[in-house]
């Protein structure tokens, strides 16, 4: 997702809403119900911060890797401009 004009808290909240909505879905299969979870990595930059799209996507991918390392079904956010992780 691209969330222009969003701050870190808004982007984190949006990602959490998506994660929670996916976690509520149960798919019926011939073998029984299947639940799905979602891990998300979010990268933020401020206006004027020089960064290529490839660098931004790499940062989001690093956050996704961290989300999976801590147990999955979570959101990890990095503000690349100030290099903070939540």
pLDDT score of 85 more than 80: no
The model's pLDDT over 26-74, given as tens digits with 9 standing for 90+, comes to 999 999 999 999 999 999 887 777 888 898 899 999 999 999 999 889 9
Residue 17 forms part of a structural domain: yes
What are residue 85's DSSP bridge partners?
A: 78
pLDDT-derived band of residue 16, with 50, 70 and 90 as boundaries? very high
- Is position 1 within any domain? no
Mean of pLDDT values over 2-24: 92
Total domains present in the chain: 1
Whether the per-residue pLDDT at 86 is higher than 90: the answer is no
CATH code for the domain of 12: 3.30.70.270
Q: Considering only residues 83 and 34, tell me which one the structure prediction assigns the higher pLDDT.
A: 34
Nearest to 19 by CA among 69, 67, 85: 67
- The answer as to whether 3 is a domain residue is no
d(CA 72, CA 83): 22
Q: How much is the pLDDT for 45?
A: 86
- pLDDT of 47: 74
Q: Which domain holds residue 51?
A: 8-85
């Amino acid at each position: 997702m691209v969330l222009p004009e969003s701050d870190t808290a808004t982007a984190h909240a949006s990602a959490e809403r998506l994660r929670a909505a996916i976690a509520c879905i149960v798919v019926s299969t011939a073998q029984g119900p299947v639940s799905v979870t979602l891990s998300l990595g979010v990268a933020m930059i401020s206006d004027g911060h020089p960064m290529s799209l490839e660098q931004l996507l790499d940062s989001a991918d690093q956050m996704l890797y961290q989300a999976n390392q801590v147990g999955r079904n979570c959101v990890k956010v990095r503000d690349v401009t100030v290099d903070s992780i939540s």
